[in-house]
Amino acid sequence: MKRPLLSLIFAAVALAEPGVIDPAALRADVRRLCDLGVRDTPSLASTRAARLIAEQFAAAGLEPAGDNGYFQDALFTRRDFSQARAEVSVKASGGTVRVAGLAEVGARCTEGLNITDAPAVLTTVEGLARLDAGKTRGRVLIVEGSDYLTTKADQMGRLRELAPRLTVLPICGGGPSQVRAVRQPEFTEGEPHKTPSVIAVRSAEFCGLLNPDGVTISARCAPYEQRTFALRNVLGMLRGSDPTLPALIVSGHYDSRGGPGGNDNASGVAALLEIGRALSTERPKRTILFAAWAGEEWGLLGSQHFAEHLTLPVAVNVNLDTTGHWPAGATGTAAEVTGLEYSTLGEAFTRAAELTGVQIRPAADEYFDKSDNLPFAQRGTPAVTVTAGFRVPDLHTAKDTADRLDYERMARLADLVATAALMIANNPEPPRWREIPATEKFRGAR
Ligand SMILES: [Zn+2]
């Protein structure tokens, strides 16, 4: 049993010699992606990014691993909800309040509505379950205490059953993020379902008038615009020597939102490309799948789709997200790993950290479900995300540019991940979840 372990470490040490991942190559990769523009979903920039990544996979000698060459495509629909002329008024015994404007009103209307003095049914989130569709169909429903209702599939499903003409969400004390959440575009795979019309109203005066004795609602809003497009993951593989072993996925999302996404996440894709190149001369036991995911910023769309439609069996996922910009005051090269302590994957990272001299620490638990590692964990597959730190300024803005990244440190972080990946791929034992409370829902999910 000693020999394989030794050769494994020798391989990793050899790989970890300074200069394995070239900072200049990372910089060139990030620049090329950022030069395309905002890689929103869908956009010409993201289509071009996918092609660029496929070309880089081919140049590195990785085999196509999608169902359409290097690509895995899925038909999606995006709906953008109009905010034009959106307004709501409530009339009650205490008077009338009219609310309009982007800071106070968030509209999610599936048809143009122009409602005048319609009597409303008043309920709470808990009350939704008890309502009778006979009393709500075609009417106006007011749901109190409904933080982020439109982001919750079960509550939206219930609204679909109750089929009101309009649902009003009074935000009484909540911040503007709840209004923004309501206007978020909606993405669905395949045939989009019927979406209930919802308007959020953030106004203390509006809330003050609500009472069970009877209120009427007037409202106006415009319908959505809809586009159907191909969501495209890019998949390249380094074939393992043992075809019976399920693959290690090394991944990162290539889409961006609100800006060119230099740190979030051209950095992770650049690391992925250069790790692919560095490992392409190796012949690990386990196949390594290099995956660039689409649509992360709108709800992990690409990784979720892949996890539901695997193109090959999978044992483990190491994901890269925002790997190029360190929080102010951070010294040396340190990497944060979400779920570092959740599985035996942590052991490979600890050894790789020793070999490469890169410090690692667990990221806060709240980040475990914020990136593309999640769809794999939810299906019982041990998964982590490696980052330079998510608490950095200007993510999702025009300021997240290629020139702001620290490519020297980024190359060290990529060395760490390449070393850990090779160890994991050379170990015929797949990583396992640790028996701790945080992993309970993932352990049972196979
Ligand atoms: Zn990201």
Q: How far apart are CA 222 and CA 80, in angstroms?
A: 11
pLDDT at 146: 85
Taking a C-beta distance cutoff of 8 angstroms, is the pair 225, 79 a contact?
yes
- Give bridge partners of residue 433 from the DSSP assignment: 343
Quote the DSSP letter at residue 203: -
Q: Is the dihedral of CA 390, 391, 395, 396 positive or negative?
A: positive
CA of 187 to the centre of ligand 1 (A): 18
Alpha carbon of 256 to ligand 1 centroid (Å): 8
Could you tell me the distance, in angstroms and rounded to a whole number, from the CA of residue 93 to the centre of ligand 1? Answer: 49
Ligand 1 center to residue 265 CA distance, Å? Answer: 5
User: Which residues lie across from 187 on neighbouring strands?
Assistant: 78
- Reading the chain (446 residues) residue by residue, the pLDDT tens digits are 333 433 544 555 555 455 589 999 999 999 999 999 999 999 999 999 999 999 999 999 999 999 999 999 999 999 999 999 999 999 999 899 999 988 899 999 999 999 999 999 999 999 999 999 999 999 999 999 888 999 898 999 999 999 999 999 999 987 889 999 999 999 999 888 788 999 999 999 999 999 888 899 999 999 999 999 999 999 999 999 999 999 999 999 999 999 999 999 999 999 999 999 999 999 999 999 999 999 999 999 999 999 999 999 999 999 999 999 998 887 788 899 999 999 999 999 999 999 999 999 999 999 999 999 999 999 999 999 999 999 888 999 999 999 999 999 999 999 999 999 999 999 999 999 999 999 999 998 86
* Helix (H), strand (E) counts: the chain: 13, 18
What was the pLDDT predicted at 4?
Answer: 43
Which residue intervals of 16-80 are DSSP H helices? Answer: 23-35, 44-59
pLDDT of residue 69: 97
CA of 238 to the centre of ligand 1 (A): 24
Distance 195 CA to ligand 1 centre (A): 27
Distances (CA, A) of 424 to 63, 140, 227, 375: 20, 56, 41, 20
Tell me, what DSSP letter sits at residue 343?
B
Question: What's the 229 CA to ligand 1 centre distance in angstroms?
Answer: 21
* CA dist., res. 221 & res. 82, Å (int): 8
What is the CA(421)–ligand 1 centre distance, in A?
20
Distance from the CA of 355 to the center of ligand 1, in angstroms?
A: 27
Question: How far is residue 247's CA from residue 240's CA, in Å, rounded to a whole number?
Answer: 8
Query: What are the φ/ψ torsions at residue 46 (nearest 5 degrees)?
Result: -75, -35
DSSP class per residue in 349-372: HHHHHHHHT-EEEEPPGGGTTSST
Ligand 1: distance of its center to the CA of 253 in Å?
7
| Interval between CA 258 and ligand 1 midpoint (Å) | 12
Ligand 1 center to residue 297 CA distance, Å?
A: 7
What's the pLDDT score for residue 304? 97
Strands (DSSP E) found in 239-322:
247-253, 288-293, 314-320
The Å distance, Cα 295 to ligand 1 centre, comes to 10
Strands 334-338 and 359-362, by their bridges, are: parallel
Q: How far apart are the CA of 135 and the centre of ligand 1, in A?
A: 43
- Give the 3-state DSSP-derived string for 427-439, with helices as H, strands as E and coil as C: CCCCCCECCCHHH
Other C-beta atoms closer than 10 Å to the C-beta of 209 total: 18
Residue 83 and residue 109: Cα distance in Å, rounded?
A: 9
Token look-up 């052991």 returns 347
Centroid of ligand 1 to alpha carbon of 356 (angstroms): 25
Look up the CATH number of domain 83-222: 3.50.30.30
Distance between Cα 172 and ligand 1 center (Å): 31
**Which residue bears the tokens 């048809």?**
111
CA of 300 from ligand 1 middle (Å) equals 9
Ligand 1 centre and the CA of 234: distance in Å?
16
Where in the chain is CATH 3.40.630.10?
2-76+229-443
Separation of CA 371 and ligand 1 centre (Å): 7
Distances 413 to 117, 275, 323 between C-alpha atoms, Å? 60, 11, 8
Centre of ligand 1 to C-alpha 294, Å, is: 11
| CATH 3.50.30.30 domain residues, the chain | 83-222
Cα–ligand 1 centroid distance for 440 (angstroms): 26
pTM: 0.90
Q: What's the CA-to-centroid distance between 98 and ligand 1, angstroms?
A: 38
Host H or E run for residue 106: strand 105-108
The Cα–Cα gap between 289 and 249 comes to: 5
Task: Determine the Cα–Cα distance for residues 57 and 237; give it in Å rounded to an integer.
Answer: 8
390 CA to centre of ligand 1 in angstroms: 9
Closest CA to 425 of 268, 251, 282, 287: 287
Quote the ligand 1 centre to 264 CA distance (angstroms): 5
Superfamily of 2-76+229-443 according to CATH: Zn peptidases (3.40.630.10)
Rounded Cα distance between 300 and 117, Å, is: 41
